[in-house]
Structure 1
């Protein structure tokens, strides 16, 4: 049963985001919404929720349809509330007075500890704020759930909680979810909408299967277009021959046939639809300057501690050789980022127990992209740090997806995807041979994640990385270190750790 119909929907901002979009959402649909950064995903959800007016087309909602809408970011006015207060405020006032037990049930379903429920949202992590947003959307008992990046800021354990929560939702509840987490999409969806400026595609398949079907459909479109164009050319060639014969012979019949062939060619050319060409979100390219060192980084049983000195774990003797792509595994709070930060510091100053080869040229990106200053412009970020002229700087920025209009704007105004691509550009321009990457796929769309994977693997790049993205770490890693208790162990595969984290 259809609960919402989208007909010929279009949104144009500075350029068309999507057009002629048709979609029917029925009970039981669990639809993954996939597009490049800036491709209109969040705008489409806002249109469905009635919070953004489309440029064209229409949306028809079932009478009395309640929509639960989880946006990417918590509203600033929520920070002064406790989690419990904010979820309760989502209920209509008359319902909140005598049905506040609904809040308790929903927060329990999301496994939110009691002490966090009554803590100010401003004092909670981004992950717990995300849980509050899910609870506020679900407590109203919606007939349609819209989720914009529900796993942002979540570690693997809490991603598993969200997956389990979604699996326990009523089977007929339709959900439209935006995510760049490919494993998550495969786990929670049964259909996929690839949103495009033109020729959006819908498949009744979860992401990975839908992606394969999309590639086949695009290839078929390309073949069909080439065939139609070739047939039109053949008709034009035949028409040209007939015209010559008709003119030389004075035959009106041949000239009439010439016009008919030309008209057929024109109709065929007008009807031929070119294959989809992806809009350029910006290249992600890395460099690997190479080194002859046998070990880039050596750890001599280093103690990794909390800021107040409490021991988290000891590393034992470990090393990273050229070509090693080491993934650092561990539950949230076990000190993965602490070790990455210690190794980053040793590249500038001595840290006991950590040795680095003299030939190492490092590139470090933390999960908050701290190497970028929000007050700088992209041009300043590039020209201040690297000896390249303005013309070259503008060219490489454009290639990384930062267009000319944004190059002299504060970095704070860039989208998350543009910041991530700019950060990767800044790393590449250092010409490094060793990368330290803490959650590098944060904010990257799926195309960007796959491009980063291809660069790391294709260049046999040496790196130590932390990631909660299961698809990314599986594709990139060729060595795995896992924090187990108070030791750092090398393991053959991430699968045992991932299974334990996802099981809770």
Structure 2
């Protein structure tokens, strides 16, 4: 069978010797890297086209590349060993294209040629070599990732300037203060600097809300504090609610009680001492120790602990039955609630919460707001729920421009104060600019006037002494837009008639359910976790079929669905552009970038691995993916999770201007008030419309708390 050398010689008899060696060198050394004839064509096709002097078109070159690719694959299959030659092959003898004398015949690597005599474009040659090397490096990187089973993620790190005074105080054991002061520290994530020369002061007993745009490092800062990579006095206990409780045979209530390690150790010792006394093995000292234990248990009010733990669990949505279930019976969301309950019960000196409302329904959020308002120790919470911060925070810490700014008061006070600061800063900068220009005009006018030399010098010194003010560094405005170039549909476009649904006959979710929506609808679905909100959305989507009753959908209805789990299911080992290209192939890269840009994923963000994006940035990528097919109706399940406040506001505005229909599940009170005109309450196996809107629903929940004694 012909080899690729034979094919080259027969198809391109006029090929230049240097180009021949280059092409055969690539085919010989890189044959295993070519996954298709297209790869081979990318590597050498353009040079073969030049050699053919327009006698062969692109299709001819591709056909030849396919023939050579086939010979390479045959050779790979038939020979398992590579043969080393005893001596270099004289390419000049193989090609037969040289008329040189015998004494001029040398190996191609020994020959000196006049660069001007070559027909090869040297720039194109370098470009092809670079392209081939990049492709090989990329393939090698993918192979490495596949073999390791995961992608290599960047790591966060923190550094802090040491203080001898604080170190001496810590070592002496005399530091009894529960105030926390972290000065002059930096935080990085991989090569990106998140904070530089930052300072944070947390006064004991105050509740701090940490706010800022997605991706600036709020979650990373919490992790650096929790891991004590930043110096925290050792006597201050820290608890970071980050991971869900591990599932085992421990009952939920007992899992919470076990957080009080002192109570648990005293009870364990009391049980052991009682057993020794009852068995007659005691030596008389047990009774004394038991008295001490009982006194200690009474001092910490150990008998009230089960009731306190039960109230916390009930407030977070755990029924009496659920409190007796083992932790392994709960889903991930409920285990996160359990982790929050354990933290609230343990009462650490510093409680770190990262988006605690994401795992809760509105009922549980309202309870948590009330509970944290009576919290005695320090809280640092990352939240994008404006109402939650207004209810809980006594102070706001604003992360921006790689620094932290502190504000007294709740979020509304922070927002007003920040805006006023920015206006004053801008006015001061503009005034100084005008003053500088005025002085500079005088200097330029009299610079060469000997009579005014002293005045010019004075003005120059005055300019030097002026403080260097900077213009306001405003955050770029977040703008989202949902495409709506579609025709109007006659209502109703989506309807459920007399629908019954259950997963098993003994657990009915809905009975005689009747709801309808059209392209004018802006509906929010509320209700306790487990009431059936997500189930109803899936019935509306058509993912679940009613056991009885009918789902009606307009034949031209095109639904876009956003699930809170979609963010977790994005491809992590690709960038956002590649993710859209995999999902919607065949479009130019510019179109994918434009689509991502609509949701604030542009520039470097668009080509960064999805795994390295923050939760809010991943949500934006999920929005770009959802809206790519241009739906005319959106069903959104917790769309505000992980989004920063500016993006939540932009999302609300985008949904208001969207010409299609919207049904959403959300726990964000402000977002609901911005978007929704109807409120559907899931309860008692049905859905009812609440005429009084969100205010009426909130009043009903508050009455339930008071009645059931959760507050």
TM-score tier, shorter chain, comes to: 0.7 to 0.9
Greater alpha carbon shift after TM alignment, 139-148 vs 445-454: 139-148
Partner in structure 2 of residue 72 of structure 1: 242
C-alpha deviation, 1:477, in angstroms: 0.3
Higher helix proportion (structure 1 or 2): 2
Check if 1:124 corresponds to 2:330. yes
Contact 2:636 2:664 in 1 (8 A): yes
Partner in structure 2 of residue 154 of structure 1: 360
Structure 2 Cα separation of the partners of residues 256 and 121 of structure 1: 83
Partner in structure 2 of residue 306 of structure 1: 502
- What TM-score, normalized to structure 2? 0.61
C-alpha deviation, 1:262, in angstroms: 3.4
Contact 1:39 1:195 in 2 (8 A): yes
Partner in structure 1 of residue 125 of structure 2: none
Greater alpha carbon shift after TM alignment, 425-434 vs 41-50: 41-50
Distance 1:122 1:311, change over 3 A: closer
Equivalent of 1:477 in 638, 663, 676: 676
> What stretches of structure 1 of length at least 5 have no aligned partner?
54-58
Contact 2:567 2:619 in 1 (8 A): no
Name which one, 1 or 2, has greater alpha-carbon Rg.
2
**RCO higher in structure (CA 8 A, sep ≥6):** 1
Equivalent of 2:551 in 354, 366, 380: 354
Check if 1:107 corresponds to 2:283. no
SS at match of 1:301: strand
C-alpha deviation, 1:463, in angstroms: 0.7
Contact 1:436 1:465 in 2 (8 A): yes
Please list, as runs of the form range in 1=range in 2, the aligned pairs for 1:114-263 lying within 5 A after superposition.
116-117=322-323, 119-170=325-376, 173-198=377-402, 200-243=404-447, 247=448, 249-251=449-451, 254-263=452-461
Structure 2 Cα separation of the partners of residues 52 and 278 of structure 1: 29
Check if 1:276 corresponds to 2:473. yes
Please list, as runs of the form range in 1=range in 2, the aligned pairs for 1:330-345 lying within 5 A after superposition.
330-345=527-542
C-alpha deviation, 1:98, in angstroms: 0.8
For residues 448-467 of structure 1, give each alpha carbon's deviation from its aligned partner in whole angstroms, at most 9, with x where no partner exists: 21110111113355211111
Partner in structure 1 of residue 57 of structure 2: none
For residues 432-471 of structure 1, give each alpha carbon's deviation from its aligned partner in whole angstroms, at most 9, with x where no partner exists: 2211111111121222211101111133552111111111
Partner in structure 1 of residue 565 of structure 2: 368
Contact 1:346 1:355 in 2 (8 A): no
Partner in structure 1 of residue 697 of structure 2: 497
Partner in structure 1 of residue 277 of structure 2: none
Partner in structure 1 of residue 90 of structure 2: none
Check if 1:431 corresponds to 2:630. yes
C-alpha deviation, 1:263, in angstroms: 4.1
Partner in structure 2 of residue 440 of structure 1: 639
Equivalent of 1:34 in 196, 201, 211: 211
Task: Tell me how large the CA RMSD over aligned residues is.
Answer: 3.4
Distance 1:328 1:379, change over 3 A: same
Contact 2:497 2:549 in 1 (8 A): no
Partner in structure 2 of residue 56 of structure 1: none
Contact 1:186 1:206 in 2 (8 A): yes
Structure 2 Cα separation of the partners of residues 489 and 140 of structure 1: 39
Equivalent of 1:449 in 648, 656, 671: 648
Structure 1 Cα separation of the partners of residues 209 and 443 of structure 2: 49
Check if 1:264 corresponds to 2:440. no
Greater alpha carbon shift after TM alignment, 282-291 vs 97-106: 97-106
C-alpha deviation, 1:404, in angstroms: 5.9
SS at match of 1:307: strand
C-alpha deviation, 1:474, in angstroms: 1.3
Contact 2:598 2:624 in 1 (8 A): no
For residues 70-115 of structure 1, give each alpha carbon's deviation from its aligned partner in whole angstroms, at most 9, with x where no partner exists: 233337xx344735665566555x7631157586355224135565
C-alpha deviation, 1:30, in angstroms: 1.5
Aligned residues: 482
Check if 1:379 corresponds to 2:577. yes
Structure 2 Cα separation of the partners of residues 81 and 229 of structure 1: 69
SS at match of 2:179: strand
Distance 1:372 1:148, change over 3 A: closer
C-alpha deviation, 1:145, in angstroms: 2.3
SS at match of 1:497: helix
Structure 2 Cα separation of the partners of residues 287 and 86 of structure 1: 48
Check if 1:295 corresponds to 2:491. yes
C-alpha deviation, 1:272, in angstroms: 0.3
Greater alpha carbon shift after TM alignment, 131-140 vs 457-466: 131-140
Structure 2 Cα separation of the partners of residues 472 and 139 of structure 1: 30
Greater alpha carbon shift after TM alignment, 400-409 vs 105-114: 400-409
> What stretches of structure 2 of length at least 5 have no aligned partner?
1-176, 269-301, 706-711
Structure 2 Cα separation of the partners of residues 320 and 105 of structure 1: 45
C-alpha deviation, 1:211, in angstroms: 1.7
Contact 1:325 1:461 in 2 (8 A): no
